[in-house]
Amino acid sequence: MPKQKPPVNRISRRRVPVAALMAVATIVLPARAQSPPPSQATYQVEQGRARIVLAPLPHDVVRAFYIGRGFEKPFVEQLVRQGCVYRLDVGNVAEAPDKAPLSLDLTHWKIRIVDGFQPMPLKDRWLARFKEQGMAEPQRIALRWATFPNQQTFYAGDYNWGMMVLSQPPGTVFDLEIRWRDASHDKTHRLEGMKCASF
């Protein structure tokens, strides 16, 4: 763990504006899907150049995305009932002329459900599994580009959004150990008590 005190160190957990979400859902969804989504906590780490936000995606958003990309309904329902989809938003919040990179390598991230920390399931594993199951190429392409890349480097102002899929059922509580590299310094933070979206 680095001993140097970072210029900014803010960890927060806050509520998504559920009212806004419900308002949008009420406008565009038929009655079957109008039940209000459960409150969803987002998890945010701001430290040095890094801004990392994790937010569980509500099931209807997951359904909408995958059905909109042409995925078969059984696959989408399986994903909703057995998966746990998060939005990961990572950015380098330094301002120019700062030229130091922020690097992320998800192969170093670890998840703990019950026992010890384990490596996170990454997009390569999902893509290989879905290819074996006969998923068509357009859907695999969509999945690949919608899922956060395993490694990425960000310079001042850069940011990326992507999905992160965990193989856990709705409502699962877990801890996540996240790592990144800020210039030449390795950083680690543990997010405890995170939760998959529940019905």
Footprint of another protein (CB under 8 A): 14, 16-17, 20-21, 24-25, 28-30, 42, 44, 53, 55, 58, 60-61, 63-65, 67-69, 87, 89, 91, 95-96, 137-138, 141-142, 144-146, 148-149, 151-152, 154-162
Minimal distance in Å, beta carbon 166 to another protein? 19
Instruction: Considering the complex, state which of residue 2 and residue 24 has its C-beta at the smaller distance from another protein.
Output: 24
Bridge partner residues of 15 (DSSP)? 41
Minimal distance in Å, beta carbon 142 to another protein? 6
For residue 14, the one-letter residue type is: R
Instruction: Considering the complex, state which of residue 53 and residue 178 has its C-beta at the smaller distance from another protein.
Output: 53
Instruction: Considering the complex, state which of residue 65 and residue 75 has its C-beta at the smaller distance from another protein.
Output: 65
Tokens of 194: 């995170």
Instruction: Considering the complex, state which of residue 2 and residue 67 has its C-beta at the smaller distance from another protein.
Output: 67
Closest CA to 48 of 14, 98, 82: 98
Q: What are the CA-CA distances from residue 127 to residues 16, 22, 147 (Å)?
A: 30, 32, 10
Minimal distance in Å, beta carbon 51 to another protein? 8
Q: What is d(CA 174, CA 183) in angstroms, rounded to the nearest whole number?
A: 29
Q: Residue 125: which H helix or E strand, with range?
A: helix 123-132
Instruction: Considering the complex, state which of residue 103 and residue 113 has its C-beta at the smaller distance from another protein.
Output: 103
Minimal distance in Å, beta carbon 117 to another protein? 25
Q: What is d(CA 77, CA 86) in angstroms, rounded to the nearest whole number?
A: 16
Closest CA to 194 of 50, 105, 87: 87
